[in-house]
Amino acid sequence: MVQLQKEFSGRMELNSSPPVDGVVAAADEMPETDVYVVTSGGILIPANSKILASASPVLENIIQRPRKRQSSERKIPILGVPYDAVSVFIQFLYSSRCSKEQMDKYGIHLLALSHVYMVPQLKLRCTKGLVEQLNVDNVVDVLQLARLCDAPHLYLKCMKLLSNNFKAVEETEGWKFMQNHDPYLELEILQFIDESESRKKRTRRFREEQSLYIELSEAMDCLQHICSEGCTSVGPSDMDPSEKKGPCSKFSTCHGLQLLIKHFGICKKRVKGGCWRCKRMWQLFRLHSSICYQPDVCRVPLCREFKLKVVQERQRGSDLLWRLLVRKVASAKAILSLPKRKREEEPRMDMDHQEMSSFKL
């Protein structure tokens, strides 16, 4: 018994001044110790109650509790984690510092302590540190801790790593243990993976549709450009045939549209409606007319005629899908006219009406 008391006394003397950033401060610079933190194994860490209370509201409540005997020493039990982790925790309460080596070694324990004793600054440091340490082998354990400690950022990072490396995680001991002891978490993970795959499909479909609207918007610009100014081999009727125009900035789209216009001018099947290329050209004329705001001076063929037809259809309330397509193309045209930074800030278009994906040049 005497030997044990000497051992504890020696440890207390060694820890009478909590280290600050790995360096033990001079005795006259440290506040007086008036409370002891009891760690696992019975080791005591002397500390100052005012410093602990100012850093943690939970410790403040513990310190302010009335004691049964005024003469008894004040002791705060912090059990369930290694002594070294508690020592680093107390050090952080004194100095608000924690080295990377300490975080790498005791990050999981420090996250639990920072959550239980409500030390948000340490909790944030632990969250960032554990994110950097995430791998296939420890992700399940860290995920469980993130749920218990209410760390949403860490939880989301774990879920994403699980979703992207699910086959490898399934082979780990952590996953097998979780399957046997926490089936609810397993269900939660599987639901997240399913929702993640659904989001990827919706995003892929949205990008495909957005690409279609942008392509149609560029086609409208090219049609206006060809019918007003001319481009390479096709131009307005009053343009001198010998005058050759150079390719425009959107020549990849403009060239295909010129070929379509040439075919439309010489095709004999279009009268009977048997040519799909001519049908596509009619659709482009109609689409242009739907978004044109100057039909009286527009030089695109049939613009005014289609404009009148569109007004009549709108009055009858028919062809809702076509009107939706017109609105999407007009929106894409407006977004393309914005600077790149503002364009990225624009809200996403709806991803409904997948039938329109068949409308391609």
Query: What confidence tens digit (pLDDT) does each residue in 214-233 have?
Result: 888 888 888 888 888 887 77
Cα dist from 292 to 15, 198, 276, 332, 346, whole Å = 81, 37, 24, 14, 23
Whether the pLDDT of residue 319 is over 60: the answer is yes
Cα dist from 170 to 155, 182, 323, 360, whole Å = 18, 14, 49, 43
Across the strands, what pairs with 47? 35
When comparing pLDDT for 325 and 113, which is higher? 113
Per-residue model confidence (pLDDT) at position 12: 39
| Residues of the chain above pLDDT 90, percent | 40
When comparing pLDDT for 83 and 270, which is higher? 83
Per-residue model confidence (pLDDT) at position 109: 95
Instruction: Tell me how crowded residue 284 is: count the other CB atoms within 10 A of its CB.
Output: 21
Whether the pLDDT of residue 108 is over 60: the answer is yes
| Dihedral angle sign, alpha carbons of residues 176, 179, 182, 186 | positive
Per-residue model confidence (pLDDT) at position 231: 79
Of 8-17, 163-172, 204-213, the range with the highest mean pLDDT is 163-172
When comparing pLDDT for 195 and 272, which is higher? 195
Per-residue model confidence (pLDDT) at position 270: 60
pTM confidence score: 0.61
Q: Do strands 75-77 and 35-38 pair parallel, antiparallel, or not at all (unpaired)?
A: parallel
The predicted model gives 28-36 an average pLDDT of 75
